[in-house]
Structure 1
Amino acid sequence: MVHWADYMAEKIIKERGDKEKYVVESGITPSGYVHIGNFREFFTAYIVGHALRDRGKKVRHIHMWDDYDRFRKVPKNIPAEWREHLTKPVREVPDPWGCHDSYAEHFMEKFEEEVRKLGIEVDFLYASELYKSGEYADEIRLALEKRDEIKAVLDKYRERAKQPPLEESWQPVMVYCPKCRKEAEFISWDGEWKVKYRCEHCGEEGETDIREGNVKLRWRVDWPMRWAHFKVDFEPAGKDHLAAGSSYDTGKEISEKVFGWKAPMTLMYEFVGIKGQKGKMSGSRGNVILLSDLYEVLEPGIIRFIYAKTRPNKELKIDLGLGLLNLYDEFDKVERIYFGLEKAKNPEEEEELKRTYELSMPKVPEKLVAQAPFRFLVTLVQMPHLDEEGIIKILQEQGHVPKELSEEDLERIRLRIRLAKNWVEKYAPDDVKFTLLEKLPEVELEPEIREAMLEVSEWLERNKEFTVDKLNNVLFDAAKKRGIPSRKWFKALYNIFIGKDRGPRLAPFLASLDREFVIKRLRLEA
């Protein structure tokens, strides 16, 4: 079974021609926090580029920051006085938090920092710099020359959608007032480089040279212009941009008819959400999960794995609750399959899983790095008597990690310990959390349960060294020979250790505690 990124790479080579170099693009307007939904576009472009590189092709991944877009509305988490900056370029709106040079930079820098941890090669480009440097000047002038052709394309799709045509005064560009930087009214174009404008905000009137960067293409023209300018071969898009008559459809015609470039191939991606959270994430509304939130509980490779294993056209719901434990189990299994330590159901599935792992890892290790089971770490990090070194020792004693650990092994185990602590603090449901009782609680126990507890304590006293499996057998045998139902037996044990009816897997949990403490508690000694 071919991985979806490889399928797309083959399709690009076939349809765009077998070239030495390909360009893939992603783009976001930094009008709010760049969340894990926005990241899907970015990662889809990246992973298809990765698949092209694996075929010996050179790839340039451009991520366009549309930081020259207008500041259209004041988000909920921004002071109301920021209304005075409406219609300025987002790159020129002050940072409300005062830690960056601009509103846009506040969000861009955070995302760029987050992406660096994922080992992704990308060229971050800034629309504000490209416009102001005059890089797009020729294309802006061409759009003004072909204004009627562009309007005809847009009106054709508006008519199909039963919308009125654009006004006769419509232009493919907008103007930023050189004085107050807000959007000004376009008056006329001289057929060369000058555009006349009038600003209703500050009263300024005059001319501006297209090459000075105050004239910007409107979105439906800017996008296809960019495809042509950077010779883009592939760009994924959300379903809103790929619906009939939307910006991709109009962009395709404008790119080919006006700018002379065959529109890039695309791939529709579905939205990303958090399990249990209603509605679409919005950076301006503030109901978002960022990559940095995921970094608190997931290894970088697992973050990539979430996106790599799911076809982009499938909705993605990330579960930060109990489902996160299953995710770690799934990833660890795929990693063992990659290194030949476990088998998949069939050869086709094995091939796809191995490829998914390759595409997920920022750097594929030469051999399997120690996998501390996250599910068990969640138990260990809640034990007050265990520090990091104590946890590592128990992992070794119980055979979860090798006795001899490399620096790479230790680094990964320590990372997982920190991530497990964070998960318990931030996302773990209450029934996963527990506190080890320092004092023996007041409990009434039936005689046969007390007998079984005494038997287990005597066994522990005789056996200073034992395996978790052996302890597990002893626990079950002690209850079975007395006819105690497992649920009732386990409930009694959990209650004397953590004061709850349920808890972590019992044998590994008890084996992780001080042996003398367990013996005393089973004997109901204070």
Structure 2
Amino acid sequence: MPDPYGEHESYAAHNIAALEASIAPLGIDCEFIRQSKRYRAGVYAEGIRKALEHKQVIKAILDQYRREPLADDWLPLAGFDGETGRDDLEFSWDGEWTVHYKVESTGREGSVDLREGGNVKLPWRVDWPMRWAYEKVMFEPGGKDHSSDGGSYDTAKQIVAQVYGGWAPEYVAYDFVIPKGRGGKISSSAGNATTVADCLRIYEPKLLRWLFANYRPNTEFAISFDLDALKLYEDYDRAVQLAHEAEDGGRNDKKRQIARRTLDLADPTGKRIEPGSKPPFQPSFRPLSMILQIYDGDLERTRAHYERSGELQTAEERELFDQRARCVWNWIEDFAPRTFAIASARRRSCARSRATPRSRSSAWSPRSKPTRRRARPSWSRT
């Protein structure tokens, strides 16, 4: 699919680039392996041929969990015709390196030499164990939909052992993450994916990492975009205070240790919390949201307010403040309910009082209704 933005070679490449850019603030440094490039370069030729040689073994494994068995002439292949883009293909294999196909809807025929690569690949349930063996994967988590009885992890464990002579990696199943206030679970297949960049608009990188570190992988939790975002910020701030407290031998020491360890894991820079140290000042979400609205989203004036009070003192605190203020304002602009926007009516009133007679008539007339708008933030780079 072409990139609708005209920036990358495909829409997939556009989204991959966006993901790579968005995880940088989270301190995630990883190597991205492009399966499409490897298949098209013939890297997996041996893995595909081995699957074809053991098609009856694979069919028997998959049929255990199917209501109707696969056809006798089934081959573990998927792909599309390079000229027409059609994926309704019938496959045949010469027993060596060549796969022939016929497009059912058009009758067009073609062939692929697996060693040279092309538009042919293994289907998901066979592709996954093949890549475990090829990459020698030691650990990999998976969603609970892959982890159910008869799911793709169950079949992959058998295929990697019986076909590729390998082993299944250590595995942890994780539950769904719900983007509360946006609707539905995070699901690329459902087309309602909430991206990392979406989350970082209203959550600081450390807080976003803390959300994941604070829950067991097999526990469903929500990333809130509605009013519950305030509660998540409050919970996070309480955890920060608790983690910095000195241990006193009392019953709360265990809670302090858990909070400290979770926040240590969540810090993108790897910085560790020293028990008994003073945490840098961070304004609470709710009062900060009110003060930001009073100053019409002006970061410098809002920061000056906290500096005058003596709460903001160090360069680290100013940097953390700016980061939080941007997130809070983004939430106000994009997700806050109308009842939360305390400054909108005042801004409209001020705008009308400053308007010239001509602009006043265009801004307000008996036939028109006032438009609720929030001022755009005037961020400055410091």
- TM-score scaled to structure 1, two decimals? 0.60
* Secondary structure in structure 1 of the residue aligned to 2:165: coil
Give the aligned partner of residue 359 of structure 1. 265
**CA shift at 1:150, angstroms?**
0.9
Instruction: Confirm or deny: 8 A CA contact 2:181 2:226 kept in the other structure.
Output: no
Question: Is 2:226–2:336's contact at 8 Å kept on the other side of the alignment?
Answer: yes
Distance (whole Å) between structure 2 residues aligned to residue 438 and residue 278 of structure 1: 32
Partner residue of 1:167 out of 71, 74, 79: 71
CA-to-aligned-CA distance 1:399-435 (integer Å, 9 cap, x gap): 533xxx3333222212222222222222223343213
Q: CA deviation at 1:138?
A: 0.7
Paired positions, count: 341
Deviation at 1:200, TM superposition (A): 3.8
Structure 1 window deviating more from structure 2 (325-334 vs 359-368): it is 359-368
Q: In the TM superposition, what whole-angstrom CA distance separates every residue of 1:428-452 from its partner, at most 9, and x where no partner exists?
A: 233432139979x9xxxxxxxxxxx
Kindly indicate whether residue 331 of structure 2 is the aligned counterpart of residue 419 of structure 1: no
**1:132–1:211: 8 Å Cα contact kept in structure 2?**
no
1:394 and 2:302 matched: no
Matched, 1:381 2:292: yes
**Is 1:106 the equivalent of 2:14?**
yes
Structure 2 unmatched runs, 5+ = 274-278, 350-382
Instruction: Supply the AA of the counterpart residue of 1:420.
Output: V
The aligned counterpart of 2:95 is: 191
Q: 1:218 aligns with which of 123, 143, 153?
A: 123
- The answer to whether residue 109 in structure 2 is matched with residue 205 in structure 1 is yes
Task: Give runs of aligned pairs for residues 1-20 of structure 1, distance below 5 A.
Answer: none
Amino acid at match of 2:22: E
Match of 2:23 in 1: 115
Kept in 2: contact 1:134–1:212 (CA 8 A)? yes
Letter paired with 1:294: C
Unpaired segments of 5 or more residues in structure 1?
A: 1-92, 442-526
Q: Is the 8 A contact 1:174 1:186 kept in 2?
A: no
Distance in 1, matches of 2:178 and 2:326, equals 25
Name the SS for the 1:421 alignment partner: helix
Is it true that 1:328 corresponds to 2:233 in the alignment?
A: yes
Trace 1:287-366 onto structure 2 (pairs within 5 A).
287-340=192-245, 346-365=252-271
CA–CA separation in structure 2 for the residues paired with 1:437 and 1:171: 66
1:322 deviation in Å? 2.7
In structure 2, the CA distance between the partners of 1:437 and 1:241, relative to structure 1 (3 Å rule), is closer
Query: For residues 252 and 284 of structure 1, do their structure 2 counterparts lie closer, same or farther at Cα, with a shift above 3 Å needed?
Result: closer
The more displaced of 331-340 and 100-109 is: 331-340
Report which of the two structures shows the higher radius of gyration computed on alpha carbons.
1
Q: How does 1:4-83 map to 2 (within 5 A)?
A: none
Alpha-carbon distance between aligned partners in 2 of 1:185 and 1:385, rounded to the nearest angstrom: 59
Q: State the distance in 1 between where 2:183 and 2:296 align.
A: 40
Q: Give distance in 2, aligned partners of 1:272 and 1:109.
A: 23
Question: Which moves more between the two structures, 341-350 or 220-229?
Answer: 341-350
1:280 Cα deviation from its structure 2 partner: 3.3
Aligned counterparts of 2:27 and 2:98: Cα–Cα separation in 1:
44
**Deviations for 1:127-162, whole angstroms, at most 9, x for unmatched residues?**
11111121111111111111111111111222xxxx
User: Equivalent residue of 1:415, what SS?
Assistant: helix
What is the deviation of 1:185?
Answer: 3.1
**Structure 1 Cα separation of the partners of residues 57 and 297 of structure 2:** 72
Using the TM superposition, give the Cα deviation of residue 303 of structure 1 relative to its aligned residue in structure 2, in angstroms.
0.8
* Matches of 1:231 and 1:223, distance apart in 2: 12
Q: Is the contact between residue 252 and residue 262 of structure 1 (CA under 8 Å) also seen in structure 2?
A: yes
The residue type paired with residue 143 of structure 1 is: A
Q: How far, CA to CA, are the matches of 1:385 and 1:282 in structure 2?
A: 36
Q: Secondary structure of 1:125's match?
A: coil
Give 1:342 shift. 8.8
Distance in 2 separating the partners of 1:237 and 1:189? 32
Asked if structure 2 preserves the Cα contact closer than 8 Å seen for 1:236 and 1:266, the reply is yes
1:267 maps to which residue? Answer: 172
Question: Which segment is superposed worse, 237-246 or 281-290?
Answer: 281-290
Note if contact 2:179-2:223 (Cα within 8 Å) is conserved in structure 1: yes
* Pairwise CA distance, 1:123: 1.2
Spell out the pairing of 1:242-257 with structure 2 (5 A cutoff): 242-257=147-162
Q: Do the aligned partners of 1:173 and 1:216 also contact (CA within 8 Å) in 2?
A: yes
The answer for the alignment partner of 1:520 in structure 2 is none
Partners of 2:345 and 2:101 in 1: how far apart? Answer: 75
Q: Is the 8 A contact 1:174 1:218 kept in 2?
A: yes
Say if 1:229 and 1:288 are closer, same or farther in 2 by CA, change over 3 A: closer
Q: Deviations over 1:23-56 (max 9, x none)?
A: xxxxxxxxxxxxxxxxxxxxxxxxxxxxxxxxxx
Alpha-carbon separation, structure 1, partners of 2:155 and 2:141: 16
Give the Cα–Cα distance (whole angstroms) in 1 for the partners of residues 41 and 343 of structure 2.
61
Stretch moving more, 313-322 or 279-288: 279-288
1:453-511, CA deviations, whole angstroms, 9 ceiling, x for partnerless residues?
xxxxxxxxxxxxxxxxxxxxxxxxxxxxxxxxxxxxxxxxxxxxxxxxxxxxxxxxxxx
Counterparts in 2 of 1:399 and 1:199: CA distance versus 1, 3 Å: same
Question: Among the aligned pairs, what percent are the same residue?
Answer: 39
What CA RMSD, in Å, does the superposition of the two structures yield over aligned residues?
Answer: 2.8
